[in-house]
A and B are shown apart, each in its own frame.
Chain A
Amino acid sequence: MDFKDYYKILEVPREASQDDIKRAYRKLARKYHPDVSKESDAEARFKEVGEAYEVLKDPDKRAAYDRLGAQWQPGQEFRPPPDWDQGFEFRGGGFADARGFSDFFEALFGRPLRGAGATQGAHFRTKGEDHYAKLPVSLEEAYQGGLRALTIQIPEVDVQGQVINRTRTLNVKIPVGVMEGQRIRLVSQGSPGFGGGPSGDIFLEVLFLPHPLFRAEKRDIYLDLPITPWEAALGQTVTVPTLGGKVELKISPGSQSGKKLRLKGRGLPGKPAGDQYVVLRMVTPAADTPAAKAFYQQMALDMPMNPRAELGV
C-alpha cells in the first residue's frame, strides 16, 4: 500500500488552517468534477481530493494523520504503526460518501459502514447506487455496431456490512449509429439495492476514439481528400473511402481546394443517417527535377493569374 500525502493532493501546506483546506478542496472539486473537467483522469483526481478532504476537514482525523509524520513520501510503501490512532476517536463515524476510498484510507480509518447515518428504521428499502463509466468507441464500431468488454469497479456491501470493491467485466453491445457524448443506460447493472430495493443502473458515456482518416460531427463524417491540380481543374471520378467501404466520387471541373462535397447517407446510420463530407485538399507535385521546374515555369507563362487579387495586393 502506498502512502498518500493528503496535503499535497489538496495543494496546501501542512500548517494550513481549516478554512484554507476547505477553500482548497472546493476549488479542486470544481476543477476536477467529472461532469466539468475534460482531463482524462478527472474522476480519479476528484475521488482523491474528496478522500483527502474527508481526512483533513476533521480535526481528529487530521491530527491522527499528522502524527504519522511528514517523513513519508507519496507512493512510498506504507504500513500503519500498530497504535498510531491511540487517543483519537473517529472509528465508526459514518462518512456519507466514503465509498471507493483508497486502501491507504481504509487502513487508517477503517471501511465505512454502509447505511451509517442513513438509519431510517430497520426496514428501509432503497435503490442501489448508479455508476458512470466512459465507453470508448471507434468510428467503425459506431457505424456497424460491436461488442466492448468494459471493466468496472462497483462497490458492494459484503455480509459484514463492509463496502468492498468488486471488479466486474461487462460485455456491452455498441448500438449501431451511436454518437459521441450519448449516454447508454444499462438497467439494473449497478450496485445492488437494500431491503429488496432494485439495483442501480450503469450509465456509459460514448467517447469516440480518434480515427486516422475520418472525424465525426454528430452523425456526419468528414474526410480530407487529397487531389492533384489536374483532377481539380479538369474534373475526375476518384475512389473515396467511407466507413461502409469504397465509393466513387465525381469531382467537377474547376474545383478548388477546400470545396466540400457531400456523400448523402454515407455517415453514421440513424434516422436520418448522417452524410459523409469530403473536403478537397489540393496537393501540388514537387518541382524537384529540371523538367518539372520548366513545366511550372511554362504554366506561369501560359496561365498567368493573381490568386491574391482579392487581398488588394
Chain B
Amino acid sequence: MKQDIIALTGIVLDENLDFSLGELCRQCGMSVEEVIAIVEEGLVEPKGVNYRVWRFDGKAVRRIQIARRLQRDLRVNLAGAALALELLEELEELRRLYCRLNYQS
C-alpha cells in the first residue's frame, strides 16, 4: 500500500543560522527598537560592533521567544525575563549533570 505523505521540512534554529538585525526582527515579529532593547539587556549577544553589522544565530530566536512569552504570561519585565532565562539555562545544565552522575553510579 503506497500512501502519499507530504513531509514538512523545518529549519533547525541552531548556531549555523545567521540573521541580520532586520531578518531577526522579521523572524520574531518585532520592531528594531524592541530587539535593540533585548540586546542591551544582554539577553542575546550578536556578533558585530554595532547594530548595522549585527549577526544573530538561530538560538537568539529561541531566547527571544521565551523571553517574550515570559513577559506576556508572567508579566515580568525584560530584566526579569533575562534573569529567568539565565537561571533556566543553569538549571538545565545542572539537570544534565545530575542525570550523568546518576547514570554513572
A residues within 8 Å of B by Cβ?
26, 29-30, 33-36, 38, 46, 127, 147, 170-173, 175, 178-179, 181-187, 189, 203-204, 215, 217, 222, 224, 258, 271, 279
9 closest A-B pairs (Cβ-Cβ)? A184-B10, A183-B13, A186-B10, A173-B9, A185-B11, A35-B66, A173-B7, A171-B7, A183-B62
What distance in Å separates the Cβ of B20 from its nearest Cβ neighbour in chain A? Answer: 17
Which of B73, B99, B104 has the most chain A CB atoms inside 10 A of its CB?
B73
Q: Is A171's CB under 8 angstroms from B8's CB? A: yes
Q: A171-B6, A183-B61, A203-B65 are in contact. Are A33 and B73 (CB under 8 A)?
A: yes
CB distance from A81 to the nearest CB of B (A): 34
Residues of A contacting B101 with CB < 8 Å? none
Contacts of A36 in B (CB 8 A): 70, 84, 88
Q: Within 8 Å CB of A204, what residues of B? A: 10
B80-94 contact mask (Cβ, 8 Å, vs A): 1 or 0: 000010001000100
Interface string of B24-40 (1 = CB under 8 A from A): 00000100000000000
Task: Write out the residue numbers on chain A whose beta carbons fall within 8 Å of the beta carbon of B65.
Answer: 203
> Given A26-B74, A279-B104, 10 more contacts at CB 8 Å?
A34-B69, A171-B8, A172-B7, A172-B10, A173-B10, A178-B12, A183-B13, A187-B11, A189-B8, A258-B104
Q: How far is the CB of B67 from chain A (nearest CB, A)?
A: 9
* Chain A interface main SS type: mixed
Is B14 on the interface with A (CB-CB < 8 A)? Answer: yes
* Cβ contact of B14, chosen from A38, A182, A215, A224, cutoff 8 A: A182
Smallest CB gap from B91: residue in A:
A38
Q: Are B12 and A183 in contact (CB under 8 A)?
A: yes
Chain A residues contacting B13 (CB-CB under 8 Å) are 182-185
Whether B10 pairs with A217 at a CB distance below 8 angstroms is: no
B100 on interface, CB distance cutoff 8 Å: yes
Contact of B74 among A33, A175, A186, A224 (CB under 8 A): A33
Considering residues B8, B13, B104, which has the most beta carbons from chain A within 10 angstroms of its beta carbon? B8
Chain B residue nearest to A126 (CB atoms) is B29
Given contacts A181-B92, A182-B13, A183-B13, contact A170 B8 (CB under 8 A): yes
Query: Would A147 and B11 count as touching, CB distance under 8 A?
Result: no
Most chain B CB atoms below 10 A, which of A170, A183, A217, A271: A183
Q: List 17 A-B pairs, Cβ < 8 Å.
A: A29-B74, A35-B66, A46-B73, A171-B6, A173-B7, A179-B14, A182-B12, A183-B12, A183-B13, A183-B58, A183-B61, A184-B12, A185-B11, A187-B10, A187-B11, A215-B103, A224-B103
